[in-house]
Structure 1
Amino acid sequence: MALTEEHREKWLRVLGGYPDDEKPDPEHRLAVETSCSGFLGNMWTRATMPEVQGVSLAELETVFVQYHLSRPEPFSAAMLAAMTELADAPGGRRAAAKALERLGRLGVPPPSWYGEEMTLGECWKAGDVYGDQLTFFCSFHAPSGDQALSYTVDYSEYHFDMVVDCDATGDLDRLLELHRVRNAKSLDRLFVPVEADPAEVSAGTRRSLEDWDIFCVEGDARRLAPRFLMLRELWRARLRRFPRAEPAEVRQPSDDELSLFASGFLNHLLGRILLEARHVEAIRELCWFHGINGPKVSPTRAYVFLERWLPAKYEPGDPVVEAVRDLFIPFLRWTASATDLEPMAWPYLKFKAERWLDEFPSWSARDPDCARFPRPRSL
């Protein structure tokens, strides 16, 4: 759908509704960039939802530039200066730069930080010991002042990665200290911040930016973490200063790998339970799902398997479902040992799995497309 005058007028009203008493100081670079990023995040949610608007983000960025060009004041000049970095498309960044030049000819100069170099500083990471979640921390240096960003991602080899939190400040140590204190209290499932390679940061965040999980927010991008929407474009802009590294492809277990995995667990069960056909089928489901990208058990995998994968394939009363109930905790325990999960990380995983099993099978979500791999991008 092309940008209509109705859409254009709507967004001009939105941009014009920014309260004057909440506009940041044009000379405060991070505050201005955060404000600009927030508007772009708001526009992005609408551009990704054709049933709401169906207008591309590039078209909406044009409206943003036109609006601030028509208001020759320091705040508009600062927002355009931020757009030269934050606009999603190169064309949007060029349009903002040209608009800023025009404001300069009208007697409104750009902010003093415009055009200064922003260089990458330190990179750190913290997260859980299962590999379900990582928080990346990065510092950036510029003459106008340092910046620090954090970015927290929930990972799932089966579902798309989800951003659950972001932050921006001028003090990297403040961000790190919060995680050092909190994580040190839960070493059974969290690790304290350690230095990270910039390429790892790039690979660890790229998929969550490009393939946000429509399924987990029921198709409504506005239900994503608010601070992610506020800082998404700022993080994308800073990511251009990182060495580009692609995330690893999601790899299904081969027949040989699946057979080896299932055989190991079957041998473990011999003499412990009378195996029936339903148990064998349940074991195949367990091993296939938990064998993606190599055998691993974790709270996220357990939740997705019980609450998304099984409801997509089976009725609640299916014998395989009851067999999963019988085998799930023994399977997690055996796989945790076989994959060398830290022993102190087992109690929390067991606790979470048992809580989900209390209401299993709840079947609150039953979408058959969830059992397709890779999952359709339309979900």
Structure 2
Amino acid sequence: MATIEEHREEWFQILDEYPDDEKPDPENRLAVETSCSGFLGNMWTRATMPEVQGVSLPELEMVFIHYYLQKGDAFSAAMLAAMTELADAPGGRRAAAKGVERLAETGVPVPSWYGEEVTLGECWKAGDHYGDQLTYFCSFRAPSGDHALSFTVDYSEYHFDMVVDCDSTDDIERLLELHRDRNAKFADRLFVPVQADPAELNPGTKRSFEDWDIFCVEGDASRLAPRFLMLRELWKARMRLLPQIEPDEIRMPTDDELSLFASGFVNHILGKIALRAEHFEAIQELCWFHGVNGPRVSPIRAYVFLERYMPAKYEPGDPVVAAVGELYVPFLRWAASATELRPEAWPYFKYKTEKLLEAYPNWSAKDPDCARIPRPRSL
């Protein structure tokens, strides 16, 4: 098992390799915080429970603090000042503050923005009509200069909430304009930014952190959007300024809800397909999965159902698998109407689902662990 001393040596070498000509101006708060957040994001990919891998993120945060304490220059003071906000653990934030004080006592210049109050500005959101994806935008005000962050999450109640993009800027209008222009071109499935209640942001993004924490620590960092690693800790730090509301619990359909959902589709499909036992079992699966957190259909749900849920429960040659393939598009068309999906959003949804069905079933044997594998970010 690796020891903290081995990790200290490794990270001191990594931090030593940071080129001087790429280090941001210590007075540029957003640039320094982004740099600090990037190192913490990469530390996070190499940290986990100490009893499993031997090192935790709070321990690596202390390595970071010790490194910049010993360097003792203006950039080091700026990085420690950033750590007073960005460290995941409260103890790390306190240790960084003491580090800034120690450097100041030795005459090292502390950035002028250190200790200033950051306040929340406006919040916005944009996304799709299916409820699969939302991008949140937040502006923040500070005496040294305003800045803004965005955070994009793909939602899947049964699977992983995935962070698919992040951004930072000193001008929130730049971020909003990009989404206004793009989303307006695809009004059948996307909506342009609208103002959001700040109370939405923590519950809207928290599960994505928890899901990635479970899967990706000491995992395959190539599965992560690169800018997520750069801005993960900066977003988490700014979210501490917002209402600390927990996301709702994932709610499974009750027997009564499942029965009502299934009977509605059976009545719809009767006479159109000769229903056998495997069709009724397939309908139960379709209605249960698409009834999690209330009846809803979407491209992401279709992907997770066909590529993660079914392979986790069935051998590819099972009659239920074939029955699902036969029923799926008719089921989605009926459910889209029953759940009042916008009519203009159906053609794209149908196209994405039919593409998935072209390769279905695409597994060679039942794999219960398949549901634990994140889907591609490109979906």
Q: Establish whether TM, by shorter chain, passes 0.5.
A: yes
What interval of TM-score do these two structures reach, taking the shorter chain for normalisation? over 0.9
Partner of 1:375: none
AA at the equivalent of 2:272:
R
Question: For structure 1, which runs of at least 5 residues remain unmatched after alignment?
Answer: 373-379
1:86 lines up with 2:95 in the alignment? no
**Would you say the 8 A contact 2:125–2:196 is kept in 1?**
yes
Partner of 1:350: 350
Partner of 1:168: 168
Partner of 1:31: 31
Deviation at 1:364, TM superposition (A): 7.0
Partner of 1:377: none
1:41 lines up with 2:41 in the alignment? yes
Alpha-carbon separation, structure 1, partners of 2:270 and 2:218: 42
Alpha-carbon separation, structure 2, partners of 1:364 and 1:87: 44
AA at the equivalent of 1:252:
M
Deviation at 1:361, TM superposition (A): 0.5
Question: For structure 2, which runs of at least 5 residues remain unmatched after alignment?
Answer: 373-379
Alpha-carbon separation, structure 2, partners of 1:180 and 1:240: 28
Partner of 2:99: 99
Matches within 5 A, 1:172-321: 172-212=172-212, 219-321=219-321
**Would you say the 8 A contact 1:162–1:213 is kept in 2?**
no
1:165-196 residue CA offsets vs partner (Å, 9 max, x unmatched): 00000000000000000000001110000000
**Would you say the 8 A contact 2:127–2:133 is kept in 1?**
yes
Deviation at 1:223, TM superposition (A): 2.6
Cα separation, partners in 2 of 1:74 and 1:180, compared to 1, 3 Å: same
Runs of 4+ in 1 over 6 A off after TM superposition: 49-52
RMSD of the alignment, in Å?
A: 2.0
Alpha-carbon separation, structure 2, partners of 1:345 and 1:83: 44
Deviation at 1:221, TM superposition (A): 3.9
Q: In structure 1, the residue corresponding to 2:192 is in which secondary structure?
A: strand
TM-score, normalising length: structure 2 = 0.94
Partner of 1:331: 331
Alpha-carbon separation, structure 1, partners of 2:48 and 2:318: 38
AA at the equivalent of 1:124:
W
AA at the equivalent of 2:329:
I
Cα separation, partners in 2 of 1:125 and 1:240, compared to 1, 3 Å: same
Deviation at 1:5, TM superposition (A): 1.9
Aligned length: 372
Alpha-carbon separation, structure 2, partners of 1:85 and 1:365: 48
Cα separation, partners in 2 of 1:77 and 1:213, compared to 1, 3 Å: closer
Q: Which region of structure 1 is more displaced relative to structure 2, 338-347 or 220-229?
A: 220-229
Alpha-carbon separation, structure 2, partners of 1:192 and 1:370: 34
Alpha-carbon separation, structure 1, partners of 2:66 and 2:365: 44
Q: In structure 1, the residue corresponding to 2:71 is in which secondary structure?
A: coil
Give % identity: 77
1:181-219 residue CA offsets vs partner (Å, 9 max, x unmatched): 000000111000000000101110111122227569994
